[in-house]
Chains A and B, each alone.
Chain A
Amino acid sequence: MKRFLLVATMFFLTETYALAADRWFHVKVEEAGADGETVRINMPLSLAEKVLPVIHTHNLHEGKVKIGKGDVHDVDLRAIMDALRTTPDNEFITIEGKHENIRVAKAGGNLLIKVRDSKAKAETKATAEAKAKAAAKTAAETVDVTVPFPVVEALLSAGEGELDVLAAVRALAAVGDTVLVAVDDGHDKVRIWVDSQNTME
């Protein structure tokens, strides 16, 4: 029995470590235009896991960031997260404005925020060319944010006035392939995602 427990523990530790080691955090920023830059960052989550605990700055100690009360305007983030976690999948906020549609929902263990800016459509005037340009711009102005709940819970797991970034990174390593942020403002594109590929795409 002892041997079995030892083997099981070893297997668990190896698997947990391999899990983080195989996960990659990617950032891609594409600027449109002739002088636009494309920036790609590929970082193993295990690197963040190793480095974060040994960084000691004014606000960051052992992977935890200190936040002042003023930064969250006395909002009880934990209470909000607890309420959201226990709520079934649903749409919480839907704003359909003349220029902008915003949707905040919970689905599949994730908090989803979607923003569709249709400002260009409202500004469209006269010519077909302008309409085509505006249509292209309209199609491009989107923001999609996916926040896995385990990551937020891990982030808020530190004591009061602290965010546990290290725990959030560990939680992020455990979630499946996820596009966390996708922004396309018609000019620039930003994409932040996590997967098990160590390539740039």
Chain B
Amino acid sequence: MPAGPGTVAGGAGAMVLGTLLVAGAFVYDMGAIKVSVQGKNPGGENIHLIVPAAAVPLALPFVPDKHLQEAAKEVRPWLPAIEAAAEELARCPDSPLVQVTSRHEKVSIVKRGGALLIDVDDTNETVHVSVPLKLVGVVAGQIARVPPPKGGRAAEPPPSEVSTL
């Protein structure tokens, strides 16, 4: 028996719904990047930004090649380390990682719920940044696949951190 128009529409609807559900689950799973800057001085800037982390890997291919290749050249040698660190941190229990406290400034980096939270509180402003660790790995992987510019040189090895003992 041939399928009627209602059956086809129903099938298409189910496919759209399924796609939306998968996309929604992906967006939910990736989390969101949150940036909040609150100025403390009169007339200081207040910025609040929430971007679905899933949008970043999707937007990356639209970044002009020149800029992406430039960025890739700088960070490429460190990408495996960044990927490994993000992966391992995601696996570790929630915990404070870095804390700097002085009379004028407080800085903290905390791993909480699959995200890296960076807080800076100084005399001028309060900054809060939250980056999902999954995103770090995904973006690092994407940048690693950016081809070097034509005729360009391969990335220099990173500067020596440990020179002598």
Give A contacts to B, CB under 8 Å.
21, 24, 34-44, 46-47, 50-51, 54-60, 65, 67-68, 71-72, 163, 198-200
Considering only CB atoms, which chain A residue lies closest to B88 in the complex?
A: A50
Minimum Cβ distance to chain A for residue B67 (Å): 25
| B103-A46 in contact (CB<8A) | no
The stretch from B11-19, B55-63, B92-100 touching chain A is B92-100
B112-165 CB contacts (< 8 Å) to partner A = 157-165
Q: How far, in angstroms, from A82 to B3 measured CA to CA in the complex?
A: 83
Give the contacting residue for A59; candidates B101, B102, B160; CB below 8 A: B160
User: Knowing A42-B95, A58-B160, A59-B163 touch, does A35 contact B84 (C-beta < 8 A)?
Assistant: no
Considering only CB atoms, which chain A residue lies closest to B159 in the complex?
A: A57
Q: How far, in angstroms, from A62 to B18 measured CA to CA in the complex?
A: 45
Residues of chain A within 8 A (CB-CB) of B77 are 56
Q: Is the interface of A mostly helix, strand, loop or mixed?
A: mixed
**B66 CB-CB contact with A under 8 Å:** no
| B88-A51 in contact (CB<8A) | yes
B78-94 CB contacts (< 8 Å) to partner A = 78, 80-81, 83-85, 87-89, 91-93
- Could you name 16 residue pairs across A and B whose Cβ atoms are closer than 8 Å? A24-B95, A35-B103, A36-B102, A38-B102, A39-B100, A40-B96, A41-B98, A50-B88, A51-B81, A51-B84, A51-B88, A54-B80, A55-B81, A67-B164, A67-B165, A199-B95
Q: How far, in angstroms, from A39 to B81 measured CA to CA in the complex?
A: 24
Residues of chain A within 8 A (CB-CB) of B158 are 55-57
